[in-house]
Amino acid sequence: MNLLQYCSIFVLIVVSANCKNVPSVEEVCSKLLSKDLKKEISSYKDVTNEIIKYVREGEFKGVTYDELAKFVDTFGPRPSGSQELEDSIDYMIEITKKEGIHDIVTEELEVPHWVRGEEKITMLEPRTKDIALLGLGKSVSTPTEGITAEVVVIEDFTELETKSVEGKIVVYVPVFTTYSDTVPYRSQGAARAAERGAVASLVRSITPFSINSPHTGSQYYEDDVTKIPTAAISLEDADMIKRLYERGEKVVLNVKMTSTLDTKISRNTLVDLKGSGNPEKLVIVSGHIDSWDVGQGAMDDGGGLFISWAAPVVLKRLNLIPKRTIRAIFWTTEELGLVGAYDYEERHRAENGNINFIMESDEGTFSPTGLEVSGNQMARCIVGEVLKLFKSINASTLVEKGEYASVGSDIGVLTKTGIPGAGLLNENEKYFWFHHTEGDTMNVESPEELDLGTAFWTAAAYVIADLSIDIPR
């Protein structure tokens, strides 16, 4: 049970009780963690500082940024099923081997290969104007001449039920609150509009900020519903259409989109720095190597990929070999449905009990602030204690989620089975400004912040992988 649940239950029992009476994390953990364990964890202070110093001031200073820049400049975006993705996987293996790490395995799997073609939306009435768009993942094509129809503006799914959209183009205009609250209009918008007879579905991009910059992303058709073309449009164009519509103007759009969808073979990549004591036990650090087909996938998830690549590399260079194996995983095809992660979970199911802890960075690699942890109370307390080692770089924040909770995109597939794990917390307030846009490039990244990320990620994984006890389930 995590603290949040604890608090809620408490309130239910003693109606007017103040949550201040609920024991703090400190109080809970001070009872759970033995003095010896705390002492053991704090004894990692020196090695933690050694890693931080090496990455921020030593030979590794700037390496994460430079390597990431070279990578994205060489391959550009790496969509699922593309040759660029496969070439970039080969490249990652090559640069890892150059570091003297040869325990590298790739695991082949079938992945969707959706290729965006020509895309154009033209407002025909009340005046002619191009609309800024990006088709959504796996969207079907329109007929060659496009789909021309009148717009119905929809604020939320409740309104969808009350309006006639038969033969119309639905334009969803939800105002961004949080990503998880707003994204259903992107992921389910087409299916739900089609159910009501719409001929195409557009969604105001899922972002709080825009410079006329549309955001692509995944969406899911339903088996028993007609597949209609679907795209995200910019905040600016969505809001303009909404204003025109609310003034009673008839808004007519022509939507032209082409795409192809087939399957290809791609690969998850597993890089092992074998443990010195219990090599069969794993502490996994990970990020996904695939990206959307726009921008360069530098932020989503080049940064997460490279700090995870850096973890075994830095430890190898410093000759710091923890008891358990550090495994870096470069997930394939996260963007089109966590395909790599599902394959890994299934393929390794018999041995996943050996995963001691699994980490992923997929929400930005701005300055790290701590970890969001999924696991039981004891697991969370141990990680919280480890995080105290990172006060000097302001990365000691522990956000607690319960056992089986998702704390990352790919690793959610594994933490949901009860494996304890963590997602990187970082100063990612602007993450969704760039997410899935042409603006996801190196300009979002900073050498200093990536160094902090690498230092934190490497040292945290090292300590957890070297502790005398396993992270409990």
List interacting residues with its own copies (CB under 8 A).
69-70, 73-76, 126-127, 129, 132, 210-213, 235-236, 239-240, 243-244, 247, 295-296, 433-434, 437-439, 441-443
Angle, helix 63-75 to helix 83-97, in steps of 10 degrees: 150
Enumerate residues 6+ apart whose C-beta is below 8 A from 4. 400
Q: How far apart are CA 373 and CA 147, in angstroms?
A: 47
Beta pairing partners, 272: 327
Q: Shortest gap between Cβ of 98 and its own copies (angstroms)?
A: 17
Nearer to its own copies, 360 or 440 (CB): 440
Q: What are phi and psi of 463, to 5 degrees?
A: -60, -50
Cα four-point dihedral sign 175, 179, 181, 184:
positive
Q: Shortest gap between Cβ of 229 and its own copies (angstroms)?
A: 22
Nearer to its own copies, 260 or 443 (CB): 443
Measure Cα distances from 342 to 44, 60, 63, 102, 372 in Å: 34, 33, 31, 25, 21
Annotated active-site residue in 84, 86, 119, 334: 334
Q: Can 57 be counted among the known catalytic residues?
A: no
Residue 331's nearest CA partner among 350, 355, 308, 364 is: 308
Nearer to its own copies, 151 or 407 (CB): 151
Q: Shortest gap between Cβ of 448 and its own copies (angstroms)?
A: 17
Nearer to its own copies, 3 or 442 (CB): 442
Please state whether beta strands 104-125 and 252-273 pair in parallel, antiparallel, or not at all (unpaired). Answer: antiparallel
DSSP 388: G
Nearer to its own copies, 243 or 388 (CB): 243
Nearer to its own copies, 110 or 130 (CB): 130
Question: Residue with structure tokens 């794993």?
Answer: 282
Enumerate residues 6+ apart whose C-beta is below 8 A from 193. 154, 160, 165, 170, 172, 200, 201, 228
Enumerate residues 6+ apart whose C-beta is below 8 A from 63. 55, 310, 454
Residues with active-site annotation: 334
